């Protein structure tokens, strides 16, 4: 049996506990209790979450042989220092475990304990720069869902913990089991670790249903030219009205927004498929491979080939 211990501190985010469902359903799919999940804290007893809900925990020092430690994140890791007792326990327990993981801002605990020094890591995008400033010896990648660097696993914020847990299930029990668990949990897809934390549709966040409809249309028809006239027609506006309203609601011109959507789609195809770059460019609406490369360098600072190499790594 593989034992998974969740380390909790006062103020922990309840969302971290949702990842335990991944291991619960993995047991169901496997047809046997492969995982045993327990909650721990330094002193044991009730630990209060950021929303005031108390969770009973075992004292960390009394643990049996835990294979995987998972450090839950807290609401704001910059408000208070990590208790020294927690850091001392993490430093002592990490070498004895098969792997150590963090969800969201739990990465700050691993960083303070010295476990991330010289490694790649991620955390919630809102705190990634603060982590990099505080710990320059860590290669913080603020645009990743999760990162596995040897025995250390770190995830981005909130729901990214589900993707990290599914990746653990895939590592332990195989891809078929992980897919079945994702299906039972009604997850749209199991996102790869290299996938971006950000969504262009979320970043644009238009205020009206009309502009949202135009963006939805664009996302589904990226392989087409998608001129301002095309988009305006879908929402029954003149091109001039559409451009004015679109820019006012999103802060971007329609052309810039469409390029961002194309970049996001192309990046996902490059990370998750083996399609040649010419095919990716065509499917996502770029004129050709060269045009796509220019957009990648402008938008991401690296060419498509570098994105594919990193995803394979």
What's phi and psi for 37, nearest 5 deg? -110, 130
Confidence of residue 9 (pLDDT cuts 50, 70, 90): very high
> Is 104 one of the catalytic residues?
yes
What's the pLDDT score for residue 79?
Answer: 86
Average confidence (pLDDT) over 151-180: 92
Average confidence (pLDDT) over 30-58: 95
> pLDDT over 90 for what percent of the chain?
70
Round the average pLDDT of the chain to a whole number and report it: 90
Ranges of each domain in the chain: 2-184, 200-312
- 288 Cα distance to chain centroid: 30
Confidence of residue 200 (pLDDT cuts 50, 70, 90): low
C-alpha distances in Å from residue 241, one per residue of 136, 216, 257, 275: 48, 18, 17, 38
Protein fold of 200-312: Arc Repressor Mutant, subunit A (1.10.10)
What's the pLDDT score for residue 179?
Answer: 87
Average confidence (pLDDT) over 144-164: 91
| Annotated active-site residue in 104, 168, 218, 258 | 104
Does the structural domain 2-184 have CATH classification 1.25.40.10?
A: no
What's the pLDDT score for residue 268?
Answer: 85
């Amino acid at each position: 049996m593989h034992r998974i211990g969740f380390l909790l501190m006062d103020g922990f985010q309840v969302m971290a506990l949702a990842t335990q469902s991944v291991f619960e359903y993995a047991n169901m799919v496997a047809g046997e209790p492969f995982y045993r999940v327990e909650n721990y804290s330094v002193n044991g007893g009730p630990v209060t979450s950021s929303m005031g809900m108390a969770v009973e925990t075992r004292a960390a020092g009394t643990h049996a042989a835990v294979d995987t430690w998972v450090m839950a994140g807290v609401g704001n890791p910059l408000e208070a220092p990590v208790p020294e007792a927690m850091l001392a326990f993490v430093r002592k327990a990490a070498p004895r475990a098969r792997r150590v993981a963090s969800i969201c801002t739990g990465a700050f605990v691993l960083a303070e304990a010295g476990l991330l020094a010289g490694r790649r890591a991620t955390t919630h995008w809102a705190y990634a720069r603060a982590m990099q400033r505080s710990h320059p010896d860590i290669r913080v990648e603020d645009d990743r869902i999760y990162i596995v660097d040897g025995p250390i696993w770190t995830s981005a914020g909130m729901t990214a913990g589900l993707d990290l847990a599914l990746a653990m299930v895939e590592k332990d029990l195989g891809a078929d089991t992980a897919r079945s668990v994702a299906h039972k949990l009604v997850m749209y897809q199991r996102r790869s670790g290299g996938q971006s934390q950000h969504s262009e549709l979320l970043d644009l966040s238009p205020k009206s249903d009309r502009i949202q409809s135009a963006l939805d249309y664009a996302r589904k028809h990226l392989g087409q030219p998608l001129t301002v006239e095309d988009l305006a027609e879908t929402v029954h506006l003149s091109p001039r009205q559409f451009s004015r309203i679109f820019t006012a609601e999103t802060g971007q011109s329609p052309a810039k927004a469409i390029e961002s959507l194309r970049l996001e789609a192309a990046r996902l195809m490059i990370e998750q498929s083996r399609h040649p770059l010419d095919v990716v460019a065509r499917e996502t609406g770029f004129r050709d491979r060269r045009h796509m490369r220019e957009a990648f360098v402008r938008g991401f600072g690296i060419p498509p080939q570098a994105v594919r190499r990193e995803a394979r790594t």
